[in-house]
Chains A and B, each alone.
Chain A
Amino acid sequence: EDQVTQSPEALRLQEGESSSLNCSYTVSGLRGLFWYRQDPGKGPEFLFTLYSAGEEKEKERLKATLTKKESFLHITAPKPEDSATYLCAVQASGGSYIPTFGRGTSLIVHP
């Protein structure tokens, strides 16, 4: 069974304090790994897609990286507006395109 585990469950940072969120996965073969941001009471907002080990994507203060077993979402000099839950989802290779989501990391950035 495909597994997606995100850590930590919750993270509190001071504004400007860089850190990383982890998404480890166990799938028979990876088709794609996806990062989303979810604000309270709202739907997930797509951030990045990563397809192969070694790939990196950047957007403003966020950088996503991928290895064969895990992905990291690096947040550089975060601001309070980066506070949200960050979700990771994995799509396994094969006939199905159904994604498996992790539980998310709740990030709070204090001013």
Chain B
Amino acid sequence: EPEVTQTPSHQVTQMGQEVILRCVPISNHLYFYWYRQILGQKVEFLVSFYNNEISEKSEIFDDQFSVERPDGSNFTLKIRSTKLEDSAMYFCASSERGGRGFNEQFFGPGTRLTVL
């Protein structure tokens, strides 16, 4: 069964450093998303991406964040200068459709980011 994969599973970084979280969405999916979940809190939407551009982003997704689809398979989230409060589980997701199909998403296993 096709699945979304994410690397690394756990990333530890120092405050102020740049990190890149990687995702390989399901191959025939066209819509890609990043979410985060701070320990014990709600899942929060960060950004959606379609046709090589951002479709929507939340207030959390400020100038420190960027996304890219550098090739035909990878989808990345970059945090330029990490802060302590960026520590969270980051989930990538993909869907075949957008709009009303937005939430029929397949999530990856997540990357746990720890900022020291």
Contacts and interface: CB of A to CB of B under 8 A. Distances in A.
Nearest to A87: B43
Interface residues of A, number: 22
Q: How large is the interface on B (under 10, 10 to 19, 20 to 34, 35 or more residues)?
A: 20 to 34
Interface string A6-46: 00000000000000000000000001101000000111111
A98 B58 contact: yes
Contacts of A42: 107, 109-110
> Which of the listed residues B48, B102, B104 has the most CB atoms from chain A within 10 Å of its own CB?
B102
Contacts of B107: 42-46
Interface of B: 4, 41-45, 48, 55-56, 58, 91, 93, 98-100, 102-110
The 4 A-B residue pairs whose C-beta atoms are closest, nearest first, are A43-B107, A34-B103, A101-B43, A101-B42
6 contacts: A43-B107, A43-B108, A49-B104, A101-B42, A101-B43, A102-B42
